[in-house]
Amino acid sequence: MIVTIPDMTRPVDLLEQIAKSDDAVFAFDANDLVILWNKGCERLLGRPAYEVLGRHCYDIMCGRDAFGNMYCCPSCPITTQARSHKDDPVQRFELDVAAAGGRRKKVSITTFAIPAVRSGPATLVHVLREPGGAASTLEDDLAEAVKPPTGERPSHAPSTQGNPLTKRELEILRLMARGIPTGAIAEQMFIAPVTVRNHIARILQKLDVHSKLAAVAYAYKNRLIPSESAPLPTRRD
């Protein structure tokens, strides 16, 4: 089913939780560009993150239903229903998707929708698993994160025009986009974890978003960080 997460301000950061999870999970933004592809997805489908980040989800998954009907396309019925028909939730579904080496693999998919802080389409998260498997701990945690809205948050633009981030903040944002957790970012940049957390807090404040995932989605949408992916073949109709 589809679960809507109104505000990810909980202590456990969604992006880090997904990145560390053994589940196969990926996320894509309002433009259907992949902003997160974790190790579980790399194992399940055999495609490394650098190959898919910043690419359209439908060109990566090339999903078809049991009858061969194409689902993964610019007018995907799942994303349309998830974003435009919130009162008619998407149930868990199965698709035959593309894997490395030209293989096809059947997977079960659960979808979570994270509403945009500003008006606009939600960021969608797909959790993939072998068909017939039970819901994972990650899925239970994401479902538990759903809370009733506590009030409308005023919408406003970032405090500065253009790119409001410093060079170091952009570097941290690029590492965040690769799903690297705070501790590993600190080691890679030779700074303390608390310094990384302070930078992340400033990034969220400057971009006016609630979570790392929302920050990454904003960065890709507004071209604050470039895609590091190599070209992929387009889907075969």
Residues 21-37: tens digit of each pLDDT: 889 999 898 889 998 89
d(CA 137, CA 168): 34
Residue 107: what are its φ and ψ, rounded to 5°? Answer: -135, 155
d(CA 88, CA 83): 10
Q: What is the pLDDT of residue 161?
A: 46
Beta strand segments in 79-214, E: 93-98, 104-114, 123-129
**Where on the phi/psi map is residue 32: left (φ > 0), alpha (ψ -120 to 50), or beta?**
left
Six token digits for residue 112: 């979570």
For residue 124, the SS3 value is: strand
Count of CB atoms situated within 10 Å of the CB of 147:
11
Residues of the chain with pLDDT under 70: 1-15, 115-121, 142-163, 227-237
Name the E strands within 166-225.
Answer: none
pTM value is 0.66
Structural contact between residues 89 and 1, judged by C-beta atoms closer than 8 angstroms = yes
Alpha-carbon distance 134 to 100, whole Å? 25
- Structure-token pair, residue 1: 């089913």
Return the pLDDT at 216.
Answer: 85
Helix (H) / strand (E) element for 2: namely: strand 2-4
What are phi and psi for residue 223, nearest 5 degrees? 55, 35
- Strand 34-37 and strand 123-129: pairing? unpaired
What is the structure's pLDDT at 83?
80
Q: What residues have CB less than 8 Å from 49, skipping those under 6 apart?
A: 37, 38, 41, 42, 178, 179
Burial environment of residue 173 by CB neighbours within 10 A (0 to 12, 13 to 18, 19 or more) = buried
As given in the structure block, the two tokens for residue 100 are 């490395």
2-144: CATH topology is Beta-Lactamase (3.30.450)
For 150-188, what is each residue's pLDDT tens digit? Answer: 444 444 444 434 567 888 999 999 898 888 888 899 899
